[in-house]
Amino acid sequence: MTPGRASSITFKMSDGTKVLIAHVANITVSIGELVKSGSVVATIGNNGYCRNLHLHIGAWNEKQPL
């Protein structure tokens, strides 16, 4: 993933899978922090090239999109 205009968070799972959420605001986690399921990590944002609140979610393992 190349950096874009939207703020984002990328999570690395224990199996190596990476999950990205983009267009976030008010991020509450730090780099390297362990995040558990159900944790609030950010709010939905409105940044980048968008007019309305929304999220993008992507996942991949190495170069394989999921």
Looking at the domain assignment, is residue 3 inside a domain?
A: no
- Encode pLDDT of 8-46 as tens digits: 999 999 999 999 999 899 999 999 999 999 999 999 988
Answer yes or no: is pLDDT of 64 > 90. yes
pLDDT value of position 1: 54
Answer yes or no: is pLDDT of 52 > 90. no
Looking at the domain assignment, is residue 2 inside a domain?
A: no
Domain containing residue 60: 8-65
Answer yes or no: is pLDDT of 62 > 70. yes
Looking at the domain assignment, is residue 61 inside a domain?
A: yes
What six digits make up the tokens of 56? 């993008």
Looking at the domain assignment, is residue 1 inside a domain?
A: no
What six digits make up the tokens of 3? 């950096």
Looking at the domain assignment, is residue 26 inside a domain?
A: yes
Number of domains in the chain: 1
The answer to whether residues 48 and 9 touch, using CB atoms and an 8 Å cutoff, is no
pLDDT value of position 3: 60
